[in-house]
């Protein structure tokens, strides 16, 4: 019995799509500026981007990780998640930092 395969080819979109995507990337820190009469978008007006969060402290050499699972009340989980989102950090990074602070190496 012979297995037959079907060959499928895909056409790459024309540069029109790529140009639109490139323009979006180039102008992603901008907002549309409308003309006063018709409300049509005529140009992009630059806006100031929000400051980037501070870089994370330099990590120690990679060490094999072990999973640590705990149950916490939903309200605590929500508070931790909101604080981490506000600080731009991951919950796992925050928990590792808290554990390191509470249980330093002797």
* Over residues 3-11, mean pLDDT: 74
pTM: 0.42
- Dihedral sign from CA coordinates of 15, 21, 25, 29: positive
pLDDT of residue 50 exceeding 90, the answer is: no
**34 has which bridge partners?**
41
């Amino acid at each position: 019995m012979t297995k037959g395969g079907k060959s499928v080819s895909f056409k790459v979109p024309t540069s029109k799509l790529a140009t639109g995507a490139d323009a979006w990337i180039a102008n992603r820190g901008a907002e549309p500026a409308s003309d006063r009469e018709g409300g049509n978008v005529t140009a992009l007006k630059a806006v100031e981007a929000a400051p980037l969060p501070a870089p994370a402290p330099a990590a120690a050499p990679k060490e094999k990780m072990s999973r640590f699972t705990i149950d916490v009340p939903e309200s605590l989980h929500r508070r931790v998640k909101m604080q981490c989102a506000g600080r731009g950090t991951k919950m796992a990074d925050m928990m590792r930092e808290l554990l390191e602070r509470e249980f330093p190496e002797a």
